[in-house]
Amino acid sequence: MLGQGVADSLLAMKEKYGVEDDGMTLCLNTSREDLANTSGMTTNNAIRTLSAFASEKVVELDGKKIKILNEKLLQLIASRG
């Protein structure tokens, strides 16, 4: 599944860097290129995947900030391989 790498990377970033006071926004301002590199995909594919996640209300994007809205669904996507 195309989104598996991005989902896995987002969950790993949450585990490693934590979240802000809202409990959902990653404490890491990451570039799309960095996310793509950690996900093992091209930057364009990572951007498309993040956009799809945002349109499905899995995450919310605000510049370089990423808020995880539906962690259970993200975990489900990450586990499909």
44-75 per-position pLDDT tens digit: 999 999 999 999 999 999 989 999 999 999 99
DSSP-assigned states of every residue in 14-69: HHHH-B-TTSSBBS----HHHHHHHHTS-HHHHHHHHHHHHHTTSEEEETTEEEES
Q: What's this model's pTM, rounded to 2 decimal places?
A: 0.91
11-29 per-position pLDDT tens digit: 999 999 999 999 999 998 8
